[in-house]
Amino acid sequence: MKIKTFKQLCAVATLAGAIGTLTLTSGCLAVAAGAAGAGAAVAYVRGELKATVEANFNRTVTAANAAVADLQFAKISEKRDALAAVIVARTALDKKIEITVENGGQTVSTVKIRVGLVGDESLSLTILDKIKARL
């Protein structure tokens, strides 16, 4: 009887560990997808969409600003230097949108998009599609 109880206890502990791991990683949805250009990658992790685009930094920042205008968001601010640009905008529902463009070299840039505090994958992908359409 003691061996059966021990096995049941081990099974319950294993199940509890698996559920705990799933609970801790449920916010880490990662999506890798082929994007518009060859070798481009997209990942959505912890509420932030991160994409590599095949365009130089200045062109990508211009495309991000155009995407904000295309979607009729209210642009709040833009900070920029030679390495990165941060564009902050708001939707009609007052959701904060932060688009960060990082300089990755002469032909590559990284775009990070966060919508609100916890993220919105669908809206983030829509913004990224608008940026890519302008590249």
pLDDT tens readout for residues 5-32: 655 655 555 555 555 554 444 444 444 4
Is residue 35 exposed (0-12), middle (13-18) or buried (19+ Cβ within 10 Å)? middle
pTM for the model = 0.72
End-to-end alpha carbon distance in the chain:
69
Domain ranges of the chain: 1-27, 31-133
Please report, for residues 14, 19, 86, the alpha-carbon distance to residue 51 in angstroms, rounded to integers and kept in the order given.
36, 30, 15
What's the pLDDT at 41? 85
Per-residue pLDDT at 34: 40
Q: Domain 31-133, CATH 3.30.310 — does that match?
A: yes
